[in-house]
């Protein structure tokens, strides 16, 4: 599924729509350059999962946990990951596919492919505030149709309809 977001607010709403369909054990892998909107999207997901605290960009910590509605949201930002030991201590292995939802920025740094997962790739588009957002659901099985509908019902225009 590919969407075109024209503002940070639309990206947040798309994240919220995805987050509403997530449950414990799910992971969201967020790909895209610096400033692409990964954190904006992640905040939308977290909000839908009941996180009330402001979700900062973790500058020096690779992972920050947040209390959501009956689950924990683990926000990973692996941009500054330096060595495999640090990855281990970030709790990535421990917290993906387990007792909460993992939102992972720069997942390629950690080489993880948990299931079920949503892969979200954000790219700058023609205008300053435009982004294409491609979402792929893997291992979501029976939930995939409902998630697709929720995403399509949200403010972002589909950039390209799937057949």
Ligand X SMILES: Nc1ncnc2c1ncn2[C@@H]1O[C@H](COP(=O)(O)OP(=O)(O)O)[C@@H](O)[C@H]1O
Residues in contact with Mg ion by CB under 5 A are: 38-39, 105
112 contact, one of Mg ion, ligand X, none, CB 5-8 Å limit per kind: none
Q: What b/e string do you get for 79-111 counting C-beta neighbours within 10 Å, with b at 16 or more? A: eebeeeeebeebbbeebbbbebbbbbbbbebbe
- Cα of first residue to Cα of last residue in the chain, in angstroms, is 10
Q: At what angle do helices 38-48 and 8-20 cross, to 10 degrees?
A: 40
17 touching ligand X, by CB under 6 A: no
Stretch that binds ligand X, among 21-29, 62-70, 82-90, 123-131 (CB under 6 A): 123-131
Does position 121 interact with ligand X (CB under 6 A)? The reply is no
Per-residue binding letters, 58-97, with ligand X (x by CB under 6 A): ----------------------------------------
CA torsion angle 48 16 146 35 (round to 10)? -140
Q: Rule CB under 6 A: which residues touch ligand X?
A: 5, 7-8, 10-11, 32, 34-40, 57, 105, 129-131
């Amino acid at each position: 599924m590919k969407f075109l977001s024209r503002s940070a607010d639309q990206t947040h709403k798309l994240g919220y729509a995805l987050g509403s369909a997530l449950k414990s054990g799910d992971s969201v892998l967020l790909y895209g350059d610096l400033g692409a909107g990964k954190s904006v999207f992640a905040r939308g997901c977290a909000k839908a999962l009941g996180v009330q605290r402001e979700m900062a960009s973790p500058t020096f910590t690779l992972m920050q946990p947040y209390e959501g509605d009956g689950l924990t949201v683990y926000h990973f930002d692996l941009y500054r990951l330096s060595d495999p030991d640090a990855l281990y201590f970030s709790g990535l292995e421990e917290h993906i596919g387990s007792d909460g939802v993992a939102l992972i920025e720069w997942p390629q740094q950690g080489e993880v492919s948990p299931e079920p997962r949503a892969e979200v790739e954000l790219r700058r588009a023609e205008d300053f505030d435009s982004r294409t957002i491609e979402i792929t659901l893997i291992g979501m099985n029976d939930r995939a149709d409902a998630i697709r509908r929720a995403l399509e019902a949200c403010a972002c225009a589909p950039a390209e309809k799937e057949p």
